[in-house]
Amino acid sequence: MSATWEMTCRFIAWFITCFVSMRLWQIVLRLRHDRDSVRSVLVSPLLSIRIWDQRRPATRRDWGHWIAEAAWTFPLAVAVYCFFPRWLSAQTDAWWIRGYLAVVPFLIFAKSLGTVMQLILMPCCGRLPPFIDQSYRSRSLAEFWGKRWNTWHGGWFWEAVFPWFRRRPALGLMMVFFLSGLWHELLIAVPLWNVFGESVFGMMTAYFMLQAVGLYLERRWLRKHPRARHLCTWLFVLAPIPLMLNRATLLVFHLVLP
Walk along the chain (258 residues) in steps of 10 and give the mean pLDDT of each run: 94 96 88 72 86 93 96 96 96 96 97 95 94 93 94 89 89 95 97 96 98 95 93 97 98 95
Q: Could you give the CA distance from residue 49 to residue 44 in angstroms, rounded to a whole number?
A: 7
Name the burial class of residue 42, with classes exposed (0-12), middle (13-18) and buried (19+) by CB atoms within 10 angstroms of its CB. Answer: exposed
| Main-chain phi, psi angles of 91, to 5 degrees | -80, -45
Taking only the tens place, the pLDDT of each residue in 8-58 is 999 999 999 999 999 998 888 877 767 667 777 888 898 898 889 899 999
3-state secondary structure at position 165: helix
